């Protein structure tokens, strides 16, 4: 069994009378890239701040690295790195000079670590270029380099893709996969660009209005988001009865817009068309679709 890196149980967090996290539990194991999904105000940043020790909960427990209690969390947090707010870099200095400054501040003994982390994040060739001349993507990578200076086992990243152009997103994706696969760094990441999370995440946590709706692996999610036939008709109930009686299909769902999502027999569109015409059912549309991560999240929110 893999080591548990983060375990949150029944966490409640308030700001004055506003409940930001309501009885939230979360479980991350070593080697995962855990994607935290939620709208603005869902509680993603607050949850990350609690794990990193930037804030504290009113109720519940947080355990790190299979610890038996949460009394010595600050010691365990030394094994984590967090990029939740943009670091205050010295803009008139180079990447290497900035990391040297922080290395001394944090008491990291080996100066060669600077060159190691710059290589990890693809900034080893920036030379004398000042940080004020860096692109947003380069600044994000430098922020991650700073987080990696003490060789953390857990990396916490809040919206690292925000504001990046497609090239910057691709660079960041490749870098995170490298950190995870080559250095076995466990990563907790949130992003508004849900389609991008699908490229790297191995497990998801879906938050809405301070509640954890679901935790699910990427493999299980892929099965739930499998292809389906979207059938738009004027008499969905009648067609559903025919699907069961004539074709033996039972795995479907009817939506208020009179669309049927059929999750079996998706290659049998012609037979379904013929059946609808024969029974005088007006067919307005029939196409193969796959549920996106965004749609899956919205479906969860509607059902909860």
pLDDT in tens, 260-302: 999 899 889 999 999 999 999 999 999 998 888 888 898 888 8
Residues with Cβ within 8 Å of residue 46, at least 6 apart in sequence: 13, 20, 21, 55
| CA distance to 54, 156, 215, 230, 265, per residue, from 297 (Å) | 28, 22, 11, 18, 25
Please answer whether residues 225 and 291 qualify as being in contact, where contact means their C-beta atoms are separated by less than 8 angstroms: yes
- CB-CB neighbours of 117 under 10 Å: 23
Mean pLDDT, residues 146-156 taken together? 93
Q: Residues 208, 212, 174, 148: is their CA dihedral positive or negative? A: positive
66-79 tens-digit pLDDT: 886 666 888 899 99
Q: How confident is the model at residue 195, as a pLDDT?
A: 85
CATH-assigned architecture of domain 226-303: 2-Layer Sandwich (3.30)
What dihedral do alpha carbons 110, 64, 28, 184 form, nearest 10°? 20
Please answer whether residues 32 and 200 qualify as being in contact, where contact means their C-beta atoms are separated by less than 8 angstroms: no
State whether CATH 3.40.190.170 applies to domain 4-222.
no
Fold agreement (4-222, 226-303): no
Q: How confident is the model at residue 172, as a pLDDT?
A: 87
Q: How confident is the model at residue 291, as a pLDDT?
A: 81
What tokens were used for 56? 């504290």
Mean pLDDT, residues 87-100 taken together? 92
Q: How confident is the model at residue 79, as a pLDDT?
A: 93
Strand-by-strand arrangement of the 80-83 sheet: 80-83, 154-158, 186-190, 33-37, 203-208, 211-217
205-230 tens-digit pLDDT: 999 999 999 999 999 998 888 788 99
**pTM of the full structure:** 0.83
Please answer whether residues 240 and 264 qualify as being in contact, where contact means their C-beta atoms are separated by less than 8 angstroms: no
Q: Where are the domains of the chain?
A: 4-222, 226-303
Whole-angstrom Cα distance, residue 46 to residue 60?
14
Helix (H, G, I), strand (E, B) or coil at 263: coil
Residues with Cβ within 8 Å of residue 96, at least 6 apart in sequence: 114, 115, 118, 126
Q: Residue with structure tokens 């600077």?
A: 114
Q: How confident is the model at residue 70, as a pLDDT?
A: 65
What tokens were used for 295? 């749609």
186-198 tens-digit pLDDT: 999 998 888 889 9
Element (H, E) at 136: helix 136-148
For 201-258, the DSSP string reads -SEEEEEETTEEEEEEEHHHHHHHT-EEEEEEES-HHHHHHHIIIII----EEE-TTS
Q: Which of 178, 175, 179 is nearest to 153 (CA)?
A: 179
């Amino acid at each position: 069994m893999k080591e548990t890196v983060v375990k949150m149980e029944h966490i409640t967090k308030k700001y004055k009378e506003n409940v930001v996290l309501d009885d939230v539990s979360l479980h991350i194991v070593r080697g995962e890239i855990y994607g935290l999904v939620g709208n603005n105000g869902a509680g993603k940043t607050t949850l990350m701040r609690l794990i990193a020790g930037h804030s504290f909960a009113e109720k519940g427990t947080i355990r790190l690295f299979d610890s038996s209690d949460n009394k010595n969390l600050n010691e365990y947090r030394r094994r984590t790195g967090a990029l939740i707010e943009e670091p205050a870099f010295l803009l008139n200095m180079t990447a290497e000079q900035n990391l040297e400054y922080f290395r001394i501040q944090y008491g990291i003994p080996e100066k060669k670590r600077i060159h190691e982390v710059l290589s990890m994040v693809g900034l080893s060739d920036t030379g004398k270029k000042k940080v004020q001349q860096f692109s947003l993507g380069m600044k994000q990578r430098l922020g991650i380099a700073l987080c990696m200076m003490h060789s953390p086992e857990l990396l916490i990243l809040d919206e690292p893709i925000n504001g990046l152009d497609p090239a910057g997103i691709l660079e960041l994706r490749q870098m995170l996969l490298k950190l995870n696969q080559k250095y076995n760094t466990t990563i907790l990441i949130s992003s508004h660009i849900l389609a991008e999370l699908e490229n790297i995440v191995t497990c998801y946590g879906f938050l809405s209005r301070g509640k954890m709706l679901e935790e699910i692996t990427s493999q299980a999610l892929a099965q739930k988001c499998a292809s389906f036939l979207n059938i738009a008709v004027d008499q969905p109930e009648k067609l559903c009865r025919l699907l069961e009686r004539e074709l033996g299909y039972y795995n479907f769902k009817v939506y208020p817009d009179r669309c049927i999502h059929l999750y079996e027999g998706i290659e049998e569109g012609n037979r379904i068309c013929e059946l609808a015409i024969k029974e005088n059912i007006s067919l307005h549309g029939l196409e193969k679709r796959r549920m996106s991560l965004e749609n899956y999240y919205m479906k969860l929110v509607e059902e909860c």
